[in-house]
Amino acid sequence: MSLSSVADWPDAVRRNCASSVVRTQVVSLRAGNVRLRHQGLGPFHLSYAGDRPVILFLLNAIREPGAQTICPRGTFKLLTPGEVFAIDIPGALEMLAVAYDDLPLELDVSRLAGNAKEGIDQGASAIARELRRTLLREGNGATGYLQSLAHSLLVRVLQVLGSGPRARSRASITTHSLRRVAEHIDSRLGERIAVADLAEIAGVSRAHFSRAFLAASGDTPHRFILARRLAWVRGQLDDGAENLAQLAARAGFSSHAHMSTAFRQAFGVSPREHRRATAVLPLAQGPFKMAELTRS
């Protein structure tokens, strides 16, 4: 399922998701001819009819109640001038938005008119995650680097979208198989998780599993497992867990220090800082809006 079709969620799903949303943090910055906006987990609203290109990058998977993934983490969508697009998701999303002014001719997006403008790509994911890290941790001290990364992201997205449909891999993982793999991982976070076991569950050979898994989920198996572990840790911290060493062991990290390093790299703060911030943050001030990105 795509970001576009997520907008057609039934009202019952919206009501179920809305009850889980607690707070939203938004960081925005202008770097030269680029506008960046990062939303932490929270409701997402967008009504786009702007005059400049915008890339939306999904930093966590969109799931229906029951944990079925309907839009994988790492999905990107390119919005182009003249296009009308609206989406309103009450569930908890983490989203990066990048808007561009005064693009050079070689980055003309008008040639994509009428074509699909969504996808998942490992290269685009790597650039988007570095954008997120730099925006949250360095901010105004790295505007030149942020602008360069943003341009690289657009170049990569245009390359991916301009290459046409990719040939389907002979070894692919279905949505059902991906869900079974995720359930296996979630039930064994504190154990060593062997890729060979995941391949067997998915019904794919070990030799083809990593590539097929990347195509299906947008992540390598290692990054996917790490993300599930970190998401579980963050959930435990939000619920008031105190003993970080126990959390590290239960989540499958080799040590408290290992967990803290991975947590900071993923979320920009240490587990202790996250727990302290969670205890004092006010409720969300409202859904993420894109007006600032498309405003002159």
Q: Quick check: 21 and 88 in contact, CB under 8 A?
A: no
Tens of pLDDT, residue by residue over 153-191, are 888 888 777 743 343 445 578 878 888 899 999 999 999
* 150 and 31 Cβ atoms separated by less than 8 Å: yes
- CA-CA distance, 210 to 178, in Å (whole number)? 12
Per-residue pLDDT at 288: 43
Domain coordinates in residue numbering, the chain: 3-166+285-294, 175-280
- Would you state the pLDDT for residue 193? 93
Higher-pLDDT residue of 99 and 69 is: 99
Average pLDDT for 62-74: 62
Question: Residue 163 phi/psi, 5° resolution?
Answer: -85, -5
Classified by CATH at the fold level, domain 175-280 comes out as Arc Repressor Mutant, subunit A (1.10.10)
CATH code for residues 3-166+285-294 = 2.60.120.10
* Token couple for 179: 């869900």
Q: How many residues does the chain have?
A: 296
Virtual CA dihedral for 18, 268, 95, 276, nearest 10 degrees? 20
- Whether 194 shows a pLDDT value over 80: the answer reads yes
State residue 70's pLDDT score. Answer: 58
pTM: 0.51
pLDDT digits (tens, 9 = 90+) for 82-93: 777 777 776 667
Sequential DSSP letters for 36-104: EEEEEEEEEEEEE--SS-EEEEESS-EE-TTS-EEE-TTEEEEE-TT--EEEEEEEEEEEEEEEE-S--
